[in-house]
Amino acid sequence: MIQMAGGFTKKADESIVNLAQKVQDEMVIQVPAKGVDSGHLADASQKTKESNKIKINEATQEEIESLSGIGPAKAQAIIQHREENGFFQTTEDLLEVSGIGEKTLENLQDELQIP
């Protein structure tokens, strides 16, 4: 897919990109230049300024762990499910993730942004 998009530039830090991640329609992947701090890219893209909600389809493990009732194991399960099955379309899709039940989902509803 990267080749179809024109490939990496000479300045791109290719180590930042998860080449195993499934690409979805309308997905945006920002690749910083080598030596540029990429932390601000994730921070800016994961939380919307208006709502401060976590974009579950783009969030890092650390950001997912910041959600109510989500520890490292559940965060990793969410990321693994997302990578293997594609983006979550509704909050109810999270019920397909091992360890996420109705109660957990109810507690997360106000903290998540799904598309």
Encode pLDDT of 76-86 as tens digits. Answer: 999 999 999 99
| Tens-digit pLDDT profile for residues 86-100 | 999 999 999 999 999
Judged by average pLDDT, the poorest of 19-23, 96-100, 101-105 is 19-23
Which stretch of DSSP H or E encloses residue 54? strand 54-55
- Per-residue pLDDT for 51 more than 70? no
Domain that holds residue 66: 14-113
Nearest to 89 by CA among 26, 5, 47, 18: 26
User: The domain spanning residue 95 has which CATH number?
Assistant: 1.10.150.320
Q: What is the pTM of this model?
A: 0.59
Tell me if 6 is assigned to some domain.
Answer: no
DSSP 8-state class, residue 90: S
Q: What is the pLDDT of residue 49?
A: 43
Q: Is residue 34 part of a domain?
A: yes
pLDDT confidence tier of residue 41, bands split at 50, 70 and 90: low
**Which region, left, alpha or beta, applies to residue 47 given φ > 0 means left and ψ of -120 to 50 means alpha?**
beta
pLDDT exceeds 60 at position 6: yes
44: pLDDT strictly greater than 60: no
Alpha helices by DSSP H, 34-90: 39-46, 61-65, 72-85
Give the number of domains in the chain.
1
